[in-house]
Amino acid sequence: MNGAVATPPWSRRAATGPLHTLGYILFGLFIFFTCFTFMKPSPYDFLAPPTILLWFLLDIRIHRATLIVIALLAIYLAAILVSLIPYLDESLPVEWTYQTVYLGITGIFFVMFFSDDTARRVTFGLKAYLAGCLFAAICGILSYFDVVGESILFKMDGRASGVFQDPNLLGSFLILSALYLIRGMLVGETRRVFLSATALLVILACVFLSFSRGSWGACVVGIALTIGLTWATSPSRAIRRRIARLSALALVVGAVLIGGLLSVDSVAERFTDRAQVTKDYDEGETGRFGNQRRGIPMLIDRPLGFGPLRWRRIFDLEPHNTYIGGFANGGWLGGFAFISIVLTTTFVGFRLCLKPSPYQGLSQVVFPALLMFFLQAFQIDIEKWRHVYMMLGMVWGLEVARLAWLAGQRDAGAAEFRIS
């Protein structure tokens, strides 16, 4: 049973046929519309209930290996609900909490969904996500150069936003697909190299034009981590040489791409403005970091935190730090639950990437991207980012599959020993 809670036979039978096909269609659309944040509610929100309900009626289940992350997610959400109680008469905290709980539930669904038929489902999810990223990247580039006008696509402070209202979110959203395309080309899994390379250039150009310092750093480090893990764990010298050659070529192409973009005066001017470690709103007693220094001692004295969305009431800004936000919104319990989710997932993710298994390659795409979000959480609020919950589910689903594979290897070895 692989440590899974048993499902009724009718459910497993229903998992084949038209309903199963419909489930994948709904799931593909569900993932594609992750990029639609400019509509509220968005197609993503309309697709979530029927997709989740249908798959619950089909064949998703809870595996023993995922109990820890599901329990931590439940504790995190429960802590926020408890902290909300004094502010139930305020609409904004209630709405924010509702959205957070809803996203947490999708996270639990993703963990369950990716825990079975894992390779197929993760690959399918990555392809649907890539389609959404390409759409978002093209819209972002069009918005930056005012091709269709700001009345249709977003542009904020001279930075590409496209279908996102926040260029920081757009830049970070694209990182996973960039890693997916890069690793596919490095190990020769990509059949259409020219199309993959073109898609990669479009995505990286949009990341650059988002002028998000966090996204820039996360993209560069994520690419380096994916390449490094792939090179270090490859058993083939030929593949290692291929990785080295393509990485060198990528550096040259990337430099040419950035140079070409910087040749545009407006791009160069915005780059000069954004390429600073800190901005005015980061510094000073009432800046981002000043607020954090003043807020942390206050949170130490408040086991229930400030309450959902109350930090902004006190400091006139969001915390721009998800770890501090966990304590502010959900108290000590919520803060430590969020940190525990990050630490346990990071441990599992590195093990997936370093230990040989049929799921190592997919892990070297998904986990570096998720790790970059965990690092970005120190300087931005990621608890409302839909794709973070999807990647969280992918990592834990891959871990379930790896453990099942290991159990199969041990059983096969034991059977061979008995026969001999």
Tell me the pLDDT tens digit for each residue of 78-131. Answer: 999 999 999 999 999 999 999 999 999 999 999 999 999 999 999 999 999 999
Lowest average pLDDT, out of 81-90, 148-157, 396-405, goes to 148-157
pLDDT value at 266 more than 60? yes
Q: For residue 15, what pLDDT is reported?
A: 46
pLDDT tier, 151 (very low <50, low <70, confident <90, very high otherwise): low
Model confidence at 260, in pLDDT bands (50, 70, 90)? confident
In the predicted structure, residue 294 carries a pLDDT above the cut 90: no
Q: Which pLDDT does position 319 carry in this prediction?
A: 87
pLDDT tens, residue by residue, 165-218: 889 999 999 999 999 999 999 888 888 889 999 999 999 999 999 998 889 999
Per-residue pLDDT averaged across 357-377, rounded?
96
Q: How confident is the model at residue 11 (pLDDT cuts 50, 70, 90)?
A: very low
Q: Which residue has the tokens 């304590």?
A: 327
Q: Which comes out higher in pLDDT, residue 244 or 339?
A: 339
Quote the CA–CA distance of 207 and 140 in Å, as a whole number: 9
Q: Tell me the average pLDDT across 337-349.
A: 97
The mean per-residue pLDDT over the stretch 286-303 comes to: 83
pTM here?
0.89
- Please indicate whether residue 78 or residue 42 has the higher confidence score (pLDDT): 78
Whether the pLDDT of residue 12 is over 60: the answer is no
State the pLDDT at residue 28: 96
pLDDT at 23 over 70: yes
Tally Cβ neighbours within 10 Å of residue 26.
18
Find out whether 156 and 165 touch, Cβ atoms under 8 Å. yes
Residue 334 predicted with pLDDT over 90: yes
What are the Cα distances from residue 55, in Å, to 47, 109, 255? 12, 9, 45
- Percent of the chain surpassing pLDDT 70: 89
Eight-class DSSP state of 412: H
Over residues 64-72, mean pLDDT: 96
**Rounded Cα distance, 315 and 123, in Å:** 43
pLDDT score for 37? 77
DSSP string, 250-287: HHHHHHHHHHHHHTSHHHHHHHHHH-SS--GGGSSTTS
pLDDT above 50 for 3: no
Q: Look at residue 263 in the predicted model and tell me its pLDDT.
A: 78
Residue 251 pLDDT greater than 70, yes or no: yes
* pLDDT, tens only, 122-136: 999 999 999 999 999
Average pLDDT (264-276) is: 70
Q: Kindly report the average pLDDT of the chain as a whole number.
A: 87
The stretches of 58-148 forming alpha helices (DSSP H) are 67-84, 91-113, 118-144
